[in-house]
Amino acid sequence: EIVLSQSPGTLSLSPGERATLSCRASQSVSSSSLAWYQQKPGQAPRLLIYGASSRATGIPDRFSGSGSGTDFTLTISRLEPEDFAVYYCQHYGSSRATFGQGTKLEIK
């Protein structure tokens, strides 16, 4: 069973700064099956990135995804006030989906 570990658990930054969130898989996974989601308080998750690096429809270009194998990264180039939320990575393989435990991005 693949385990996704996200780091850091909490990231404190200011608007305008760059955010780098990590997702590490316990074994090598296909990049095509790695996605990122954003969840704001009281809302359902929203798809940001699929296939490790493709932005979903309507997602601003300040969000980017990268990585392969076991190490994946979500980068937010210049934080806007609305970007402070919890972010999850997700993988699907062998008929199972797995979510990371999440990274909370908070205002410093």
Residues that bind another protein (CB under 8 A): 1, 32-33, 35, 37, 39, 44-47, 50-51, 56, 86, 88, 90-93, 95-102
Is 9 or 15 the residue whose CB approaches another protein more closely?
A: 9
- Smallest distance from the beta carbon of 21 to another protein, in angstroms? 14
Is 32 or 78 the residue whose CB approaches another protein more closely?
A: 32
Query: Which sign, positive or negative, has the C-alpha torsion 50, 84, 58, 38?
Result: positive
C-beta atoms surrounding 80 within 10 Å:
11
C-beta atoms surrounding 2 within 10 Å:
17
Residue pair 59/37 in contact (Cβ under 8 Å)? The answer is no
- Smallest distance from the beta carbon of 1 to another protein, in angstroms? 8
Is 17 or 104 the residue whose CB approaches another protein more closely?
A: 104
DSSP state of 78: S
